[in-house]
Amino acid sequence: MFNQDEKKSCLLQKLCDKKDTKEISTEYTLPDYLPDITKLLRVSARVETPSKYINSDSADYDGTIIYNIIYATSDGEIKNAEIKDDFSGNIALKTDIDPTVTDMEITAENVNCRLSSPRKLTVKSKLVIALSAFAENCTEPAIAGKMTAESAKYLQYKKDNIEFAGQINADEKNIPVSEDIETEPGMPQIAEIVSVFLDPTVTDIKYSDGKINYMGTVNANVIYLALPEEGDGEKRKYISFTREIPISGSVETEEGLENPAFLCDVDIKNISYRPQTNDLGDTKTVEIDFDYSVYFKIFFKNICEITTDMYSLDYENSNEDEKVDFETFDAFKVFNFSFNESTPFEEKEFPNIISSFASSDITSVEKNGNKVTVNGNVLLCLILGNGEDAYIGKNYTLPYKAETDMGKISELFSFLGKSYINNLQTRIVENKIYVDAEITVSLLILGDKNADILKSCTLYSDRPITIKNNSNIVLYYPSKGDDLWNIAKRYNTTVEKITSANGISGDIKEAGVIIIPTEKPRSKFIKTK
C-alpha cells in the first residue's frame, strides 16, 4: 500500500530528460511467393516495446521495428510485405545516481523505402528515443562529526514542504485477443485479405483500490480483394473497411493514490488474420488474432519535507547545499475536438479512395494564461485507384491547433501527451480532399522546478560555541528581510524561544523590538575525545 508518510523525506529527483536519434536501414528481398513491385503505395512502421537496461552510467536498449509495405504489381494487384529489423543502442547518462523510475519511448519517423529492383528494396527510418530518468532522493542531511545523543537534541533544523510529481509505472503484458469482424453491409465477399492494420486506443481509465481498470478499442483497418460479382467481369475491386475491437482489463498498482493521472501506451504484436464464412455461408468475416501489452505511467501529487538549513547550539558547523531538479504535477486533461480540414487534390486521374489511414501527434504546447494551445499534425495516408487496376499512394501532413483551459500552470513547464484519431472520414470533391475526424488528446503538464536542499552538516566537536554576551537577553531591532530563523541562528538560540519570549507566532514585523533570550554554553554535554 502506498503510504505518503513513508515518502515524507524522499523527493523524486529528475536526473535527465533527453532525446536521441538513431538512423537505421535494412535491405530486403521479396520471398518467392510474392510478385514483383511496380509501385509503392504505403510504408508504415511500428516499434515493438524494446527491452532496456538503465543505470547511472548509461541506458542500453534493443528491440524490433516492423515495416509493412503495401504495393502494386504490374498486373493490377495490391500486395503487402512485412519486414522486421532488429536494433540496439546506448545513451550516456553519467548521473552518478542509479535511477529508480525510468521512461523510455522509441518511435519511428521519416520512414522511407527505395526500390533497387522489382524484388529488392531498402527501408530506412529514424528512431527517436525519448528518455527520462528519476531517482528517489532522501532529503535528510548527512551529519558528520562527533556528538553525543544528548547534544544531538540541540541541533536546529529549518524545514520546508515542497510539492512534487510522484510517478510509478504499471503494466500488463501479452494479453491474447481473438475477434471476428464483419464487412460493412452491402460489401462484396472476400476473395483475399491484403492487409490488416491495428491501431489501439485506451478510451476510459478508472482507479480504485490499487487497481487500474481500463477500456479501449483496437481499430482494425482491413484492405481486401473482393470476390467478383455478377457484372464485374475480370475487373479487380479492392475495398477497405474499419471495425472496432474492444479491449479491457485491470492492472495492479499502488493503493492510496489521490486523483492520479494516467498516460497509456498499447503495444500490439503477433498479428495474424484469415477470411472466414459467416452464418449465411458468405465470406464476409475476418478472424483476427493478436497479443497486446498495456503500459501505464501514473502521476500524482506528493509532498516532501526538506531541510534547507541547520546549526548546532553546541558546536560550530559548516553546511553543504545541493540543488535538486524536480517536477510538479500541474494539470492533466483529456479532451476531444473535431478536425475538419481540406487540402488540394491534384491526382485527378485517380479519383477513387481505396483506403485511408491517419495518425496524429503533438509537436508543441504553448501557454497563454490559464489556457494552453496544443499544436500537432494529422498524418494522412491514402491509397488511390483509377478504376482500371492502377493505384498510387499519397501522404499528407495537415496541421491542427486546439486550445483548452488547464488552470494555473508553471511558467517553466514540460508536457507529456498523446493524441488519437477517431471516426476518420475522407472524400474527394472536385479538386480537394476533405478530412473529417475526432481527435482525442491526453495532456499532462509538469512544472520544471528546483530547490536548494541541505546535503550535509559537519560538526566541529573540537570547536564548542562560546557565548560572548553575559546578558541573559538581547534587544533586537529587526530590519527589512529579517526572519526568525536567521536571528535565532545568529544569536545561537531557537525560534521557539524567541516566539515564546515575545508572545508571537510566525514571522516578525519590520518595526518594533524583539527580545532574544540567550544561554550559557552547555559544556557538560560536550565531549571532544
Which tens digit of pLDDT belongs to each residue from 393-404?
Answer: 999 999 999 999
Q: Is the pLDDT reported for residue 288 higher than 70?
A: yes
467-529, superfamily in CATH? LysM domain (3.10.350.10)
Q: Is the pLDDT reported for residue 5 higher than 80?
A: no
The predicted pLDDT at position 522 comes to: 54
Half-sphere exposure of 518 (CA within 13 A, CB side): 17
C-beta of residue 238 within 8 angstroms of C-beta of residue 176: no
The Cα-based distances of 364 to 370, 416, 445 in angstroms read 16, 10, 12
Residue 161: burial class (beta carbons within 10 Å; 0-12, 13-18, 19+): exposed
The predicted pLDDT at position 45 comes to: 94
The Cα-based distances of 7 to 12, 163, 212, 260, 351 in angstroms read 9, 12, 22, 16, 62
The pLDDT confidence band at residue 528, using thresholds 50, 70 and 90, is very low
* Bridge partners of residue 265, in order along the sequence: 295
The predicted pLDDT at position 331 comes to: 96
More confident residue, 92 or 244: 244
The predicted pLDDT at position 154 comes to: 81
Mean per-residue pLDDT, 344-355: 94
Provide the residue type at 440 as one letter: T
The predicted pLDDT at position 48 comes to: 86
- Torsion angle of C-alpha atoms 286, 287, 291, 294, degrees rounded to 10: 50
C-alpha cell at 115: 526500390
Write the pLDDT tens digit of every residue in 148-167.
677 677 899 999 999 999 99
C-alpha cell at 400: 491542427
C-beta of residue 295 within 8 angstroms of C-beta of residue 40: no
Percent of the chain with pLDDT strictly greater than 70? 93
The predicted pLDDT at position 468 comes to: 66
Residues 77 and 390: their CA atoms lie apart, in Å, by 9
- Residue 395's nearest CA partner among 33, 110, 31 is 110
Winning range, highest mean pLDDT, from 135-144, 228-237, 243-252: 243-252
The predicted pLDDT at position 305 comes to: 92
Q: What is the DSSP letter of 501?
A: H
Half-sphere exposure of 27 (CA within 13 A, CB side): 4
Half-sphere exposure of 10 (CA within 13 A, CB side): 12
More confident residue, 439 or 315: 439
Write the pLDDT tens digit of every residue in 474-493.
888 888 778 899 999 988 89
Residues 78 and 493: their CA atoms lie apart, in Å, by 85
Residues 216 and 208: their CA atoms lie apart, in Å, by 18
What's phi and psi for 189, nearest 5 deg? -70, 165
Q: Is the pLDDT reported for residue 511 higher than 90?
A: no
Mean per-residue pLDDT, 168-186: 94
What distance lies between CA 405 and its chain's CA centroid? 20
Write the pLDDT tens digit of every residue in 33-77.
999 999 999 999 999 878 888 888 889 999 999 999 999 999 999
Q: What pTM, to 2 d.p., does this model score?
A: 0.88
Q: Is the pLDDT reported for residue 510 higher than 80?
A: no
Provide the residue type at 183 as one letter: T
Write the pLDDT tens digit of every residue in 186-195.
999 999 999 9
Mean per-residue pLDDT, 6-14: 76
The predicted pLDDT at position 23 comes to: 96
Mean per-residue pLDDT, 282-306: 95
C-alpha cell at 417: 501527451
SS3 at position 497: helix
The pLDDT confidence band at residue 438, using thresholds 50, 70 and 90, is very high
What's phi and psi for 441, nearest 5 deg? -120, 130
Strands lying side by side in the sheet with 238-252: 190-208, 211-226, 238-252
Q: Is the pLDDT reported for residue 518 higher than 50?
A: yes
Q: Is the pLDDT reported for residue 500 higher than 70?
A: yes
The predicted pLDDT at position 4 comes to: 47
- Torsion angle of C-alpha atoms 66, 71, 73, 77, degrees rounded to 10: 100
C-beta of residue 461 within 8 angstroms of C-beta of residue 418: no
The predicted pLDDT at position 233 comes to: 67
The predicted pLDDT at position 31 comes to: 95
**Where do the domains of the chain lie?**
1-138, 467-529
Q: Is the pLDDT reported for residue 94 higher than 90?
A: no
Percent of the chain with pLDDT strictly greater than 90? 70
Residue 455: burial class (beta carbons within 10 Å; 0-12, 13-18, 19+): middle
- Mean pLDDT check: name the lowest of 54-63, 297-306, 379-388, 468-477: 468-477
The predicted pLDDT at position 529 comes to: 36
Mean per-residue pLDDT, 5-13: 71
The predicted pLDDT at position 519 comes to: 65
The pLDDT confidence band at residue 503, using thresholds 50, 70 and 90, is confident
Residues 33 and 36: their CA atoms lie apart, in Å, by 10
The predicted pLDDT at position 206 comes to: 94
Q: Is the pLDDT reported for residue 3 higher than 80?
A: no
Residues 509 and 515: their CA atoms lie apart, in Å, by 13
C-alpha cell at 279: 452464418
